[in-house]
Amino acid sequence: MTDALLETKAVAKSYGSVVALRSVDLTVQPGEIHALLGANGAGKSTLVKILSGVIAPDSGTISVNGRSVTMRRPPEALKAGLATVYQDPALVPDLTIAQNLTLTAIDEDAVRSRLTAMGLGRLDFDAQIRDLPLEVLRLLDLARALAHDPQLLLLDEITAALPSDQAEHVFGIMQEWKEKGRSVLFITHRLAEVLSLCDQATILRDGRTVAQVEPRQSGERGLVTPMLGEVAAELEAATSRVISQEAPINLATADLYSGGKVNGISFELRAGEILGIAALEGQGQDRLFELLSGDRRPDRGEVIVNGSPLRARSPYDAIRRGVVLVPSDRVLALLPKRSVRENLAIPLYNRVQRWLGLVGDEDTRTNKAIERLSIDTRAHRQVRRLSGGNQQKVVIGRWLANGFRTLLCFDPTRGIDIHTKRQIYDLLKEVADTGASVLVYTSELPEIPLLCDRVLVIYNGRIVHEQDAANATEEVLLSAAHGLEESA
Amino acid sequence: MTVADLPGVRRQAASMRLLADHPLWILGGVLVVLIAITGAIRPSYLSFSGLRNTVLLAAPLGIMAAAQTLLMLTGGIDLSVAMVATGAAYVAGNRSPSGALIAIASGLLVGLIAGATNGIGVGIFQVNPLIMTLAMAAILLGLFTSWAQTIFTGSTTVAPLIKTLGGGSFFGNRVPYNALIWVGVALVVMWLLKRTGLGRITYAIGDNPIAARLSGVRVWQVHLVLYTLAGLLAALAGILIAGRTGAVDLQLASTFLLPSVAAAVIGGTSIFGGVGSYSGTILGALILSVLNSMLTFLNVGQAIQQVVYGLIVLLLAWLYAKVTTER
Amino acid sequence: GDGASGDGGGDEGPWTIGVSNTLVGNGWREQMICAIKAEASASGVIDEVVVVNRNGGPTEQIADLESLISQGVDAIILNPTDREALNSVIEEAIDQGIVVVAVDQAVTAEGAYVVTNDQVAYGRLGAEWLFEQMGGTGNVAYMRGIDGVPADTDRDTGFQEALADFPDINVVSEVFTGWDPSTGASQALELITTQQIDGIWTSGIDYTVVDQFAAADVPYVPIVGADNNGFIAQLIELEGDGLVGAAVTNPPAIGGVGASVAISALQGENPDQEVILTPQVFDSSEQGDLEGLYDADQQVGWSTYVNIDPYTSYEAADVATCQGPGE
Amino acid sequence: MTAVVRRRALNLRRHGWSIGVWLLLAVLIGWYVLLIPRFGSFQIASIIKNSLPLVYLAIGQAVIVITGGIDLGAGAMLVLANSASATLMQDQPFLVTILIGFGIILGAAALNGFVGWIINVSRVPDIVVTLATSFIYSGLALMILPGPGGGTSAGFRILFTGSDDGTGTSFGFSLGMLLVPVVIAAFFMRRSRTGLSLYATGSDLNAAYLSGVDIRRAKVIGYAFGGAMAGLAGLATVAITGSGDPRFSIGANATLNSVAAIVLGGVALTGGIGSVVGAVAAAIIVFFLSPILSAMGIDPNTAQVVQGSLIVVVMMIAGLLALRRRRAK
Ligand SMILES: Nc1ncnc2c1ncn2[C@@H]1O[C@H](COP(=O)(O)OP(=O)(O)OP(=O)(O)O)[C@@H](O)[C@H]1O
Ligand SMILES: Nc1ncnc2c1ncn2[C@@H]1O[C@H](COP(=O)(O)OP(=O)(O)OP(=O)(O)O)[C@@H](O)[C@H]1O
Ligand SMILES: [Mg+2]
Ligand SMILES: [Mg+2]
């Protein structure tokens, strides 16, 4: 066997008292797609940051093509042949695409041809990053990384923010890289992707390498068991829940229109129901959630909460009526420098009447939320130090601590490990069982039958398909989402 | 990822970590050292009256810095505090013939109006706080200069009660009255920040205004309340300064502006919001007060004073950052 | 006036006077402007006073002066920020037939009228009074203005001249108040409570210094100040409590003198190119004179020494109302 | 795809604010022209040369703020450069004064670059470090030049003012001295990789770092550039006034004006947004508003109020525009 392309030995890294990596061994051979797996907080992103020169390890060795390397800055990793697409976009928001490329001294044409291959050929390079949707940024990040023609491509949860059609482009590129005899280190929480794409998988748990397996042989269970250790979860089938047609309608919309993005949406959501929304990227689902959560007012039509119209000037009005939002982007929802507790308690104080003094049962409420979501509070003093999955739990936990009637979740499991995902499914069902309503948009279509009772497919700002979630196959949903079947 | 993740960052020793958990100890230590140095320059400073002076001079600064702290925690700043203080003091001085209480109330009214206007500008019209308050200072200066010749003519000597509150002491002339007021303000501000919903929201807005909004906080309300409160605190500080100087003019508090920011910053409040405490600011104000005494006693020209002042502020901030920057 | 500048200071009015000042909100400067307006009104030959007033240095003042030239004023009265820096603009104005009068501080421009208080004498006269009052021996606190500003430098010259004649006088503290009352108050409090001081010379920051004696509960020492209404009031009211002091005049009414010089120049009367007012010393032993100076209805920073013979022709009340012609 | 946006609309949006500020300046000057009896080269020269120091200061401040900092010591640096140059240049021939001028600019750049370095290593927020340096610079200025004085060569004065005594009717030189630094700064910031790295650093520190930008170097360069511009402002001051003045208040006033100017000019204090071109127009407005208002016959105290209100109103408009844009998005 020749030298491995990348080999790390006993890499460790701590942040103060939080140990992010204890001892990571990873070997990536040339010409393979290698999955890096682990629950939230296992240390995947930390390893990626070390491999791309963003942070320095406390100890351990890294060698590329058999030669030991130290990378103190991102450009040094690039020089060593390692290019990374980080978990968070690494494009400068106030510059244009062209300027971002100039900044990194990357040839525009190379990026352009990459983008064309991904179906983004018409992208205006004078557009400001700030104005571009997240998926475009992910692909742009990818195209930029490819322009370096790296030996090893590191992809940290790139597919988490991508709708399935665009994820396909990424898979194509991974294949291409493999065929070229180069390698890809691929981080994802979607095990299906691992099973179908990856040749090898290294699994981290609590900052330690616990296994290296060949996914095609081990199967899903073979991945999950080492990943989760003792708590290895059952992969249950969809549970069908029965929603009484007499249950009150908690949330409804009547012919909503907004800025050409939402073009006449009407639906009803009953107490106890979990309603899924499926859509490709950019079909108006984000605007719909803005309207429902009181962040924006519709041009036409109404949002109806418990039978009376919601005329919200700000999210406060919706929250007061019991309609609360878990946004897609955690960065929007968290107070990064404050503690978990404060993050959870914030909505308790959105009313002026409660400004003087603290709510008596603040502690009980927040503790309950922490327990119920089993939030890992090792780094509780500042939420920014939590792993992505735990951050997401905090955002959901906030509403558990506060109370609500209708929960709007926009892609709540984005970037969440399989165990936590289960926890969130169970939690949402539990919440629904107590008579609340849940509206979920998810970019992962297989989630729909696992989580929802009913599903709406949105295309071009309109509902084009509706059905029971339990029988919703990915194929049916996908074709509806492409607008191929006009039915309502 | 944050800057703290960047390379070149060393790990801290355990003792440093202990200090990092209690950054106020450092400030306390610095204060003691400065007092000792000042005492070495002028031994008689280490006496009841010397220390009383330090507190007496720090109190209005500390109150003004409370305004600054509240706003800095939201990511804002108030560059109009000095002019609001001056305006309030001017009105209080001018209304003194009608009695001290009316004078104080009229002075506070100035703070209320100016602060609320700042709050409306920042909260509702989204004007950058630095610019809003800078402009407010200019506007107030213009208004008061012309009012001084029209509606606020006459006496500018403050009422005896205000003099006593601002400059007097009790307990054998050892404890300044203004220190009592400062303690009161400090208790209220610390209670607000630590033990109330408003405090929680204040930190939240400074940390991430979008998250606060999505949690149902109406950010403009918080701005309105806090800027108004800051205006009131600045006005109170101004009235106390007037009491100490005995009379008012339109430049009364102008020298307090930069120190009010410096006190909060030295005390560990982040100019970007979301991090800080009033207890730090209190120590910051005391440190600056001792520093001023030290410079007075040094008997050197302004050139050296300015250099020394700048260097010490820089070194203090550096020391604080070094110990508290979490890695 | 008619916009016809440049054709010489002819002898037909009415004329327009432009005023350039670079310190906003300063009581002394405001009164100076009021005195200009009052004299312009009283003369009956001026139909407009255009004031450009903002905080700034020579650069700003050059721009303002050029703007006044462009506006076609017939005379310019300025309180210069610099002795030399404005000369070419002033000469440009004079070339265009504009009468230029520098008040308070001198300029060296050819053809400009200069009206100043004798700052060297100010420093010397006050110091001499103080040192004599102290019996030629003891500790003096020397409270100056702003380091590097010509008026402060001149006063220091006078002070040092006086000091040279009193070998047993010790200057134990030399501080810069920045001409800021609250800074002066803090420094005074620190000084009188931490060392033996037998006399205080102030550069016009006087009434707030006097107030500190009561705050510190320390007996008064002889003090030199300026002709501020608040200080005069203290010299009268606190005489019984043992306050001894002297007010050395540095009247803002010098603006009125400047206006009067400008007007005679416009009328073709060829006034003296240079007017230097010698300060008067009013001390607390002449209570009658002090009472003549005191005006209970005026602000502390106000100078009631407004009628300066033979130059001014207004009533004291005209200065207080601060209205120019046509306002 | 939503990402395909028309190019022209975008550019107008990005430069709209700068254009608006230049229009406001044009309107104000037009108004001024109507108010004064004569308008000619003397007035043009006056407007251009006198605004040079604040324009330079604003360019430097803009660069620093775009890089994600703020320089409260800019005005003090102006005073320091002014005092040092007036002291050194007195009675020197033209060529020597030019050399001294370059020396001052380099020195100012080095000193302020050092401040940027201190900010990097100390991790003390910019506003605090530069607050401290504002005192230090002022103190140094006063040490170098204890009172107003000093001088420079006639040629040096011509260079900035077009006249050997600082006042006159020729404005060619001033216009050149206005345009050259503006163009250089604008090109540097928008076209060079280094300039873009400053924008990147101010816009998003992490993204910039991950993109391979040396963010510490960017900060040092930003501050050095700002220092050089403040040094140039000090030189312009010595050319206009023919002397040096070490007063603290001059620096403090200039700093506040520079901050007001860049914000008015569309530079966001949060960093990464805005252009030096807008800041230049705003600097001229901030500098000339007072005489213009006085020419309108407005009492100076009222003018102070008008000036403050104008700034607030303009910023309110900016806020409402931003809100509308967000709504429309
Ligand atoms: N800057 C930091 N300071 C302190 N702790 C940190 C910091 N960054 C990460 N951590 C901690 O290190 C651990 C590993 O985090 P990391 O982001 O690598 O997890 P991950 O495997 O990528 O998880 P996810 O799947 O949720 O993205 C977590 O416990 C996290 O709280
Ligand atoms: N019957 C209801 N219909 C609609 N919304 C409701 C209903 N009951 C409660 N809500 C909403 O659900 C949220 C939580 O309700 P809850 O009664 O727990 O409020 P709370 O947090 O205890 O506050 P408070 O008791 O002070 O009103 C609130 O926003 C409330 O407006
Ligand atoms: Mg991660
Ligand atoms: Mg309730």
B46-61 pLDDT, tens per residue?
988 888 889 999 999 9
Confidence bin at B173 (pLDDT 50/70/90): confident
Q: How confident is the model at residue D319 (pLDDT cuts 50, 70, 90)?
A: confident
Token pair 């002070």: residue: C159
Q: Quick check: is D298 in a domain?
A: yes
Q: What is the pLDDT of residue D155?
A: 94
DSSP letter at C48?
Answer: E
State the residue for tokens 């992910």: A138
pLDDT exceeds 60 at position A236: no
Chain B partners of C297 at a C-beta cutoff of 8 Å? 153-155
DSSP string, C136-166: T-EEEEEEE--TT-HHHHHHHHHHHHHHHT-
Looking at residue A419, its pLDDT comes to: 81
Check CB contact under 8 Å for C301 and B254.
no
Which pLDDT does position C6 carry in this prediction? 41
Please write the tens of the pLDDT for every residue from D295-306. 888 888 888 899
Q: How confident is the model at residue B1 (pLDDT cuts 50, 70, 90)?
A: very low
What CATH architecture does domain A6-227 belong to?
Answer: 3-Layer(aba) Sandwich (3.40)
A6-227 and A249-487: identical CATH topology: yes
Residues near A15 by Cβ (< 8 Å), separated by ≥ 6?
A379, A385, B5, B327
B17-42+55-326: CATH number: 1.10.3470
The average pLDDT across A394-408 equals 92
Q: pLDDT category, A487, cuts 50, 70, 90? A: very low
pLDDT tens digits, residue range A46-87? 999 999 999 999 999 999 998 999 888 899 999 999 999 988
Q: Which residues pair with C224 in a beta bridge?
A: C201, C246
Domain count across chain D? 1
Asked if residue D167 is part of any domain, the answer here is yes
Q: With a CB-CB cutoff of 8 Å, which residues 204-243 of chain A face chain B?
A: none
Partner-chain contact C185 B245, CB within 8 Å: yes
Q: pLDDT confidence of A471, banded at 50, 70, 90?
A: confident
Q: How far apart are CA A406 and CA A271, in angstroms?
A: 8
**pLDDT of res. A465:** 92
D9/A contact by beta carbon, under 8 A: no
Using CA atoms in the order A398, A403, A408, A410, what is the torsion angle rounded to 10 degrees? 10
Asked if the model's pLDDT at residue D249 lies above 60, the reply is yes
Contact D37 C72 (CB under 8 A): yes
d(CA A468, CA A358): 44
Q: What per-residue confidence (pLDDT) applies to B148?
A: 84
- Cα–ligand 3 centroid distance for A157 (angstroms): 7
Coil, strand or helix: which one is B157?
strand
Domain boundaries, chain B: 17-42+55-326
Q: What is the pLDDT of residues A167-183, one digit of tens each?
A: 888 999 999 999 999 99
**Letter for the amino acid at B204?**
A
* Both tokens assigned to A466: 């509706």
Hey, which chains touch D, using 3+ CB pairs under 8 Å?
A, B, C
What string of DSSP letters covers A244-305?
Answer: -TTS-EEEEEEEEEETTTEEEEEEEEETT-EEEEE--TTSSHHHHHHHHTTSS--SEEEEEE
Query: What subunits touch chain A, counting only 3 or more CB pairs under 8 A?
Result: B, D
Given a cut of 60, whether residue A231 has pLDDT beyond it is: no
Question: Per the CB < 8 Å rule, is C194 touching B50?
Answer: yes
What is the rounded CA–CA span in Å between residue A310 and residue B52?
59
Mean pLDDT by 10 residues, chain C (327 residues): 43 87 89 94 93 92 94 95 92 94 93 94 96 95 91 94 96 92 91 92 94 90 94 93 94 94 93 93 91 86 87 89 84
Testing the interface with A: which of B190, B214, B223 to mutate, by most A Cβ within 10 A? B214
With a cut of 60, say whether residue A258 has pLDDT above it: yes
Please give the pLDDT value at position B21.
73
Tokens of D324: 């509308």
Q: What is the pLDDT of residue D2?
A: 37
Question: How confident is the model over A181-199, as pLDDT tens digits?
Answer: 999 999 988 888 899 999 9
Question: Could you write out the DSSP letters of every residue in A399-428?
Answer: HHHH--SEEEEESTTTT--HHHHHHHHHHH
**By CA distance, what is A297's nearest residue in D?**
D327
Query: Number of B:C CB contacts under 8 A?
Result: 137
Cis amide linkage into residue D300, ω under 30° from 0 = no
Range with lowest mean pLDDT among A31-45, B151-165, B223-237, D30-44: B151-165
pLDDT beyond 90 at A226 = no
Q: Residue D185 domain-assigned?
A: yes
Asked whether the beta carbons of B163 and B103 are under 8 A apart, the reply is no
pLDDT, position A123: 87
Quick one: pLDDT at residue C4?
41
Q: Indicate the residue of A315, A342, A398 with minimum beta-carbon distance to B203.
A: A342
Residues A223/A190, Cβ–Cβ less than 8 Å? no
**Pocket flag, ligand 2, residue A321 (CB < 6 Å):** yes
State residue C166's pLDDT score.
Answer: 96
- How close is the Cα of A285 to the center of ligand 1, in Å? 30
Q: What is the mean pLDDT of residues D39-49?
A: 91
Any D CB within 8 A of A126 CB = yes
pLDDT in tens, B99-133: 999 999 999 999 999 999 999 999 999 898 988 99
Decide if pLDDT at D5 tops 60.
Answer: no
Q: Please tell me the distance in Å from C306's CA to the nearest CA on chain D.
A: 23
Chain D environment of C148 (Cβ under 8 Å): 142, 145-148, 246-247
Q: Is there contact between C and B if contact means ≥3 C-beta pairs under 8 Å?
A: yes
Provide the residue ranges of all domains of chain A, joining segments of one domain with +: 6-227, 249-487
What distance in angstroms lies between residue A453's CA and the mean position of ligand 2's atoms? 25
CA distance readout (Å), D142 to A209, C117, C261, D137: 64, 25, 35, 9
pLDDT of residue C9: 45
Alpha-carbon span D217 to D201, nearest angstrom: 10
Q: Which segment of A371-385, B67-81, D292-306 scores lowest on mean pLDDT?
A: A371-385
* C-alpha separations of B259 from B235, B292, B310, D253 in Å: 16, 10, 11, 16
The percentage of residues in chain A with a pLDDT greater than 90, rounded to a whole number, is 48
pLDDT at B270: 86
State the distance from the centre of ligand 2 to the C-alpha of A51, rounded, in angstroms.
49
Split at pLDDT 50, 70, 90, the class of B237 is very high
Percentage of chain A beyond pLDDT 70 is: 96
Reported as type and span, the H/E element at residue A10 is: strand A6-15
pLDDT at D6: 43
Query: Which pLDDT score, from 0 to 100, does residue B11 have?
Result: 45
| CATH number for the segment(s) A249-487 | 3.40.50.300
pLDDT digits (tens, 9 = 90+) for D171-189: 999 999 999 999 999 999 9
Cis before C14 (ω within 30): yes
Closest chain A C-alpha to D211 CA, distance in angstroms: 6
Closest CA to D291 of C89, C40, C105: C89
- A–D interface: beta-carbon pairs under 8 A: 97
Provide the mean pLDDT of chain A.
Answer: 88
Q: What is the pLDDT of residue B268?
A: 87
CB neighbourhood size of D4 (10 A): 12
Q: What is the mean pLDDT of residues A323-352?
A: 90
ipTM for the complex shown = 0.86
Report pLDDT for A444. Answer: 81
Give the residue, by CA position, lying nearest to ligand 1 atom 12. A20
Each residue's pLDDT tens digit, A87-123: 888 899 989 999 999 888 888 888 998 898 888 888 8
The atom number, within ligand 2, closest to the CA of A402 reads: 21
Q: Which domain holds residue D44?
A: 40-321
Tell me which chain D residues have a C-beta less than 8 angstroms from the C-beta of C60: 50, 287, 290
Most confident option among B2-6, D86-90, D304-308: D86-90
